[in-house]
Amino acid sequence: MIYFLKAIIRAGLKRRGITLVTIYMLLLLVSSFLITLAEPSGTALTRFDEALWWSIVTSTTVGYGDLYPVSTAGRIVAVLLPIFMGIGIGAAFITHMASYLIERRDKKMHGEKPYKGSGHILLVGYTEETQYLVEQIQKDVTHAARDLVLLADISRHPLPELANLIFVRGRLDTIQALTRANTGQADQIIIHTGSDEQSLFALINALGLKNESCEVTVRCLSSQSLDTFSSVPGKFETIMQMTVEMMVQAMQDKVHIPLQILLRNEDDNEEIYYVTVPEISPGLTWWDLHNYLKERYGYLSFALGKPGHSVMVNPPAREVVSKGCGIWLIALNRPMNLVWPS
């Protein structure tokens, strides 16, 4: 009997909880059937429904005492099946579940589980700015409910208290790590590793794995690396730290003051947003659209991107705006459901 019990527990642990649950259910049926045969006719446990109830409360050690075997044979069934084997299998199942939950939590905390979702925002690299970056992404109503996957070469999840932030551990410049973060199913990728060399390798590999509609943004720390990033084939955006030229301009013209206000991104501060122009009035000029957005919505537009052309900051007033153009503007909230001139 002891050997049989060990074999059951061993098999249950190998095949996880489903096996243990199945064995426990079979045990209840067998013990209920045997007790109906062992008990004298006319007693309560000769009815199968009552015997099943007795098997459940006995094997779970609840033991209400409302039903119990009166014959010697019935007591033997009670010792061998519901009490002895039921408690053993129940303990094995509880132990298995506890171990499974602890193991699963440890894998999550150590980034050992690959991410299998889709439509997520992939953050490649962990720096002292990452927490702030995550918080700002989650503040945006369009991203609040989306998964953020952090791919970083560190030992533990750095921000476990943040909701919807999944940690995947791996070397940032390897295809294997990017694959485990399910780069091919990501909607957006942000690369900020703290090292231009590492960001460059991560960028090259990410461009080879991403889907066609995925948007890639990479942070370039040094202006000397900008030419190298620009030489990489593929569609992505490069974000620079403040360059020497910007520092000189900040010293002369104090441009850093409004820039810092925009970049600080605190509550009630305005931010820069990008919108794509749908169907619009033929021949509409930049100045007409600029005034329309300002008067109707309070938005301040300042740059225009035309398909196949470079971005124009403060474009000519008579520049024609058509469908597919991009507009950069400053607003308190993300522009949504705009009514365009038509």
The arithmetic mean of pLDDT across residues 269-290, rounded, is 91
CATH of domain 121-247: 3.40.50.720
CATH of domain 2-109: 1.10.287.70
Is 270-342 a CATH 3.90.1510.10 domain? no
Q: Which of 127-131, 222-226, 293-297 has the highest mean pLDDT?
A: 293-297
The pLDDT value given to residue 191: 95
What percentage of the chain has pLDDT greater than the value 90?
Answer: 42
Q: Mean pLDDT for the chain?
A: 84
The arithmetic mean of pLDDT across residues 215-230, rounded, is 88
Amino acid identity for residue 244 in this structure: V
The pLDDT value given to residue 246: 63
pLDDT in tens, 153-202: 999 999 988 888 999 999 998 999 999 999 999 999 999 999 999 999 99
Global confidence as pTM: 0.59
pLDDT in tens, 279-288: 898 999 999 9
pLDDT in tens, 74-83: 888 888 776 6
Q: Which residue has the higher pLDDT, 307 or 320?
A: 320
Domain ranges for the chain, please list them.
Answer: 2-109, 121-247, 270-342
Q: Which residue has the higher pLDDT, 96 or 294?
A: 294
pLDDT at 86 exceeding the cut of 90: no
pLDDT in tens, 19-61: 777 777 888 888 889 999 999 988 888 899 999 898 888 877 7
